[in-house]
């Protein structure tokens, strides 16, 4: 009775889940001054959110939806990407990542972390390596192994 139709209800569900998702990402890694540590912490928070909230994650990222056409959903989704992009920019500014297009790097990292999250949700019985190892390998693409 509070929503005009099912689509309006689903949009509200998406907005609420995106707010929780963005809050989780924003809180991750704030205790570190190292942008690569921040990026890894946000990657971990991303995967952990998906694993702890598989149905909301599926609603947000694993189904074809017109919800991104809605301004509220698109704005909140953009907030989550902006957190990733800011960490990538800081890694570039500090020379942690060699020169490159920040948008391309951000999209590549997002695709990687989303793919990992989706695969871990869809294939929980696969013998996954520890999450920290997977996140480290993912950042090597741009920065080299930690400590080099």
Domain boundaries, the chain: 6-143
- What is the architecture, at CATH level 2, of domain 6-143? Orthogonal Bundle (1.10)
The pLDDT of residue 92 is 92
The pLDDT of residue 16 is 83
Length of the chain: 148
DSSP state of 14: H
Pair 102, 88: CB distance under 8 Å: yes
Per-residue pLDDT of the chain (148 residues; tens, 9 = 90+): 677 777 777 777 777 888 889 899 999 988 988 998 898 899 999 999 999 999 888 877 766 555 445 555 666 678 888 989 999 999 999 998 888 899 999 999 999 999 999 999 999 999 999 988 888 777 666 665 544 4
């Amino acid at each position: 009775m509070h929503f005009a139709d099912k689509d309006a209800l689903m949009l509200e569900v998406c907005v609420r889940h995106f707010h929780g998702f963005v809050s989780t990402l924003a809180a991750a890694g704030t205790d570190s001054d190292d942008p690569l540590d921040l990026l890894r912490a946000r990657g971990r928070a991303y995967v952990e959110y998906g694993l702890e909230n598989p149905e909301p994650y599926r609603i947000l990222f694993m189904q074809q939806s017109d919800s991104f056409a809605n301004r509220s959903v698109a704005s909140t989704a953009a907030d989550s990407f902006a957190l990733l992009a800011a960490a990538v920019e800081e890694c570039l500014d500090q020379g942690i990542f060699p020169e490159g297009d920040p948008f391309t790097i951000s999209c590549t990292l997002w695709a990687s972390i989303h793919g990992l999250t989706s695969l871990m949700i869809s294939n929980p019985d696969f013998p996954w390596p520890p999450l920290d190892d997977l996140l480290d390998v993912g950042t090597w693409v741009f920065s080299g192994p930690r400590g080099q």
